[in-house]
Amino acid sequence: MEVGQMQRRLVDYTKSLFMEGFLDAQFLQLQQLQDESNPDFVVEVVSLFFDDSEKLLNDLTMALDQPSVDFKKVDAHVHQLKGSSSSIGAQRVKNACIAFRSFCEEQNIDATLRCLQQVKQEYYLVKNKLETMLRLEQQIVAAGGSIPMIELGF
Amino acid sequence: MRAKQMLATMSHEIRSPLSGVVSMAEILATTKLDREQRQLLGVMISSGDLVLQLINDILDLSKVIGDVLRIRQILTNLISNAIKFTHEGKVGVKLYVVPEPPFAKEGSQNGSAGSTANQSTTNVPKEETCTSTSQTSSDQRGFHGKKHEDSCQDRSQSERGTPVTNGTIDVTEEQAELPETTVWIRCDVYDTGIGIPENALPTLFKKYMQVSADHARKYGGTGLGLAICKQLVELMGGRLTVSSQVHCGSTFTFILPYKVSLSCDHSDDDLSDMDDHGATDDDATAGFFQFQPRTLGSLFSSNGSSRTQNLLAHNIGYVNSHKINGFSENCYSFPMSNGQTKEMDLVEDACSVAEALEISPEPESSFSHSPDHDNESAICRDEHHHNVVNAENRVSTRDVSSCSETSREVDVKVKITEPQLAAERQERSDSGFQSTLNSSREASNSISKPKILLVEDNKINVMVTRSMMKQLGHTIDVVNNGVEAVRAIQYHSYDLVLMDVCMPVMDGLQTTRLIRSFEETGNWDEAAKAGIEKPSPSSDSLQPDCTPPKRIPIIAMTANALSESADECSANGMDSFISKPVTFQKLKECLEQYLP
């Protein structure tokens, strides 16, 4: 596939991620932070997010698996996840965390378990999407093209 | 109504985990699998899809009942499907502009195309294109999409027929122009399928009715499609009818009113303000995408002076929402009329979108951006110097939040530039940043580089904030909790502290209290009480001298921007707050205000 085609595909794909709510404007912030002095910023941040989140999800699963659930601890983990997903623009994950926290407050075991499922689901989805997107970018760069800049304007 | 509500709730509850199953299965399909696994997975996915479809039908039905506003969303979603089916030759579609039918005033339907006698009609505005992955010239006409979503439902009637060879879209239009006018569009969707027997016609549009009892078994379907179509059409003020011959085929006809005005301002169109995704220019090889803020108005057409006005209106709208986060130093109580987190976060989303839009340097867009940009920044500056009334914020917030219900609806316009232009843009943005750097550097030249402390435990937030500060020309020190922050301040002098509120070990509020206590008393007794050792009187630490310690600006970084939280921050001695997620613009303004 030639570079122009790949670039178009990338743009379409990225656009769809915004349209479908996987990413919000905060992600654009990240892209703007990537420049010559910081050429891999997005990949680095996103990778950090993946590592961090997976650990948090494991901790959450364990915490909710206890015979007596410590909701404060659960809430603390969700708070972290909410913070990081919000910082990179993973909107659906963030929203799932928000719902999660309100159920933690209520100390509702069933609801929190459902929320955990929801959060995991959203996480894996956005992970897959981001990985696909970054892979497309890599392919373009490898083929000698440049990543089309996405601009904002009215 | 309760039954319908229950139906809707149930469908929703079922749909979420079900879509989880399907999505995960789809992801699984992209991994390495052997043949058997792939087959099994294929069955999983198709079964899941079928059930999802069923649930969606039911959900749509319960939504349609009484909720006209959702219709646009449903219609938009069905467009590409419908176009696809026409291309596949499953149905043919004909469109006519017709005189106002008698039923519009009262009486029975009469949908024949005819002369324009007492009726005025207008050309379809070119801007009404809708996205389609395979765009042909015939698809470029405006509201085809709207017609097609109904035909998408209709297709289940005709699927089994012979392929319709000329599945193209014909449009006949009469021209006569009047300022604002209602155009009646008639659409025939026809096929060469099995046809419908006459005795089935009366019950055809009823819910769950299919032509025969074993129809579902032979052909699938739920019997809901036509009922949904009919309701959609009628809710839009039109009529849906059918004519058919067994073994020959069927023609479904609907007629809908469509308001058109000459000024290209479509905000009061009930049918036409869908997302405008497609390229409107033939030469747009670079793909021009429009994400539109649905709330703040209408489509941005590629022509038209009305656009500038629209721009202004929207700029102001955005400025209002922008104020909330950008000028946090002025607004301690976050302007929400209710305390619901959900809405607040939607506003945050909207605000962050607004700010993201704010950030862009002069774009290469074909729009005349500069005057509006200046206007906008003028407004910003003015507002900055006045104390913004909370009520005012509230109103504008509400406008934004009530309309931007889903992420989908908060839209952002995006444009792609070719690589060489990209370099140009980079240069320009650099110069934009450069002037920022210069100004902040100038300010700090006399004092030398300002020392900034970031107190934050989340690694990702640290990384993002650090990178933003770097772009603003600052390096920062980072600590991960309140205790470390106090220690840092005991040993170093800082010009600004960015303090996360929720942290382990010691939170931002307590930390700030301790710092303020030091500033007021000149000693670290309070901190010692909290368990933090006083600094040893060595040359490393700041020696308490006769002059009282300088008050450090402390900015809270809070994820929880409700008014109680803002008040709490201020009560504990913080000077201002930045709501998370932290954006470049928020940081920039904060630095401008609080760094000397």
What pLDDT, in 10s, does the model give residues B115-125?
Answer: 333 333 333 33
Handedness of CA B362, B367, B369, B370 (dihedral sign): positive
CATH topology of domain B1-60: Helix Hairpins (1.10.287)
Substitution target in B306, B314, B407 with the highest count of A β-carbons within 10 Å is: B407
Beta carbons of B406 and A28 less than 8 Å apart: no
Cβ neighbours of A25 in B, within 8 Å: 349, 352-353, 355-357, 412
Residue B450: pLDDT band (50, 70, 90) is confident
Substitution target in B460, B475, B502 with the highest count of A β-carbons within 10 Å is: B460
Cβ neighbours of A145 in B, within 8 Å: 419
More confident residue, B448 or B87: B448
Let me know if A72 is exposed, middle or buried by CB neighbors in 10 A (0-12, 13-18, 19+). Answer: exposed
Domain boundaries along the sequence of chain A: 2-143
What is the C-alpha to C-alpha distance for residues B274 and B291, in angstroms, rounded to an integer? 11
Residue the block writes with tokens 């910082």:
A87
Structure tokens at A37: 């002095």
**All residues at 6 or more sequence positions from B138 whose CB lies less than 8 Å from its CB, including other chains:** B144, B168, B169
How do B92-98 and B180-190 pair as beta strands? antiparallel
Q: What are the tens digits of pLDDT across the range B159-210?
A: 344 444 444 433 333 334 445 567 777 778 888 888 888 888 888 888 778 7
Q: Which of B17, B360, B422 sits opposite A152 (nearest CB)?
A: B360
The confidence score (pLDDT) of residue B352 equals: 42
Put simply, whether A76 touches B (Cβ < 8 Å) is yes
Put simply, whether A80 touches B (Cβ < 8 Å) is yes
Put simply, whether B428 touches A (Cβ < 8 Å) is no
Average pLDDT over residues A109-138: 94
Domain boundaries along the sequence of chain B: 1-60, 68-100+179-260, 452-534+548-594
The chain A residue lying nearest B406, using CA atoms, is A21
The confidence score (pLDDT) of residue A84 equals: 95
pLDDT at B472 over 60: yes
Beta carbons of B414 and A15 less than 8 Å apart: yes
The chain B residue lying nearest A28, using CA atoms, is B356
| Range B68-100+179-260: architecture per CATH | 2-Layer Sandwich (3.30)
Residue the block writes with tokens 């209106």:
B313
Cβ neighbours of B582 in A, within 8 Å: 87
Length of chain A: 154
What is the C-alpha to C-alpha distance for residues B19 and B58, in angstroms, rounded to an integer? 15
Put simply, whether A112 touches B (Cβ < 8 Å) is no
Structure tokens at B19: 């879509």
Q: Identify whether the C-beta of residue B349 lies closer than 8 Å to the C-beta of residue B405.
A: no
Contacts across the A-B interface (CB distance below 8 Å): 173
Q: Half-sphere exposure (CA, 13 Å, Cβ side) for B341?
A: 14
Average pLDDT over residues B524-553: 76
Average pLDDT over residues B522-527: 88
Which residue, B582, B327, B335, is CA-closest to B462? B582
What is the C-alpha to C-alpha distance for residues B188 and B96, in angstroms, rounded to an integer? 8
Put simply, whether B413 touches A (Cβ < 8 Å) is yes
Neighbours of B537 (CB within 10 A): 9
Substitution target in B275, B321, B342, B412 with the highest count of A β-carbons within 10 Å is: B412
The confidence score (pLDDT) of residue B89 equals: 66
Q: What are the tens digits of pLDDT across the range B570-593?
A: 899 999 989 889 999 999 999 999
Beta carbons of A25 and B345 less than 8 Å apart: no
pLDDT at B321 over 80: no
H or E segment at B259? Answer: strand B249-261
Q: Identify whether the C-beta of residue B79 lies closer than 8 Å to the C-beta of residue B69.
A: no
Percent of chain A residues past pLDDT 90, beyond the cut:
78
CA B396 to chain A, closest CA, distance in angstroms equals 19
Neighbours of B203 (CB within 10 A): 13
CATH topology of domain A2-143: Four Helix Bundle (Hemerythrin (Met), subunit A) (1.20.120)
Which of B160-164, B183-187, B460-464, B516-520 is predicted with the least confidence, judged by mean pLDDT?
B160-164
Q: What are the tens digits of pLDDT across the range B63-79?
A: 666 454 455 555 555 55
What is the C-alpha to C-alpha distance for residues A90 and A130, in angstroms, rounded to an integer? 10
Residue-averaged pLDDT of chain B: 62
CA A108 to chain B, closest CA, distance in angstroms equals 17
Q: What are the tens digits of pLDDT across the range A48-106?
A: 999 999 999 999 999 999 999 999 999 999 999 999 999 999 999 999 999 999 999 99
Which of A104-113, B5-14, B40-49, B341-350 is predicted with the least confidence, judged by mean pLDDT?
B341-350
pLDDT at B261 over 70: no
Q: Which of B300, B353, B369 sits opposite A25 (nearest CB)?
A: B353
CATH 3.90.1640.10 describes domain B452-534+548-594:
no
CA B363 to chain A, closest CA, distance in angstroms equals 7
Residue B61: pLDDT band (50, 70, 90) is confident
The confidence score (pLDDT) of residue B431 equals: 43
Omega cis (within 30) before B581: yes
Q: What are the tens digits of pLDDT across the range B396-423?
A: 333 333 333 333 433 333 333 333 433 3
Which residue, B324, B311, B315, is CA-closest to B401? B324
CA B494 to chain A, closest CA, distance in angstroms equals 25
pLDDT at B245 over 60: yes
Backbone angles phi, psi at B504, to 5 degrees: -75, 170
What is the C-alpha to C-alpha distance for residues B130 and B292, in angstroms, rounded to an integer? 13
Put simply, whether A87 touches B (Cβ < 8 Å) is yes
**All residues at 6 or more sequence positions from A150 whose CB lies less than 8 Å from its CB, including other chains:** A11, A14, A28, A31, B414, B415, B416
Q: What are the tens digits of pLDDT across the range B265-287?
A: 333 333 333 333 333 333 333 32
3-state DSSP helix/strand/coil percent for chain A, to nearest 5? 75, 5, 20
Q: DSSP labels for B187-222?
A: EEEE-BSS---GGGGGGTTSTT--SSTTHHHHH---
The confidence score (pLDDT) of residue B444 equals: 41
Percent of chain B residues past pLDDT 90, beyond the cut:
16
Q: Which of B414, B419, B580 sits opposite A86 (nearest CB)?
A: B580
Residue the block writes with tokens 């291309």:
B87
**What b/e string do you get for A74-112 counting C-beta neighbours within 10 Å, with b at 16 or more?**
bbbbbbbbbbbbbbbbbbbbbbbbbbbbbbbeeeeeeeb
Substitution target in B416, B507, B560 with the highest count of A β-carbons within 10 Å is: B416
Q: Which of B289, B359, B468 sits opposite A15 (nearest CB)?
A: B289
Bridge partners for B187 per DSSP: B95, B254
More confident residue, A61 or B369: A61
Which residue, B471, B464, B468, is CA-closest to B436? B471
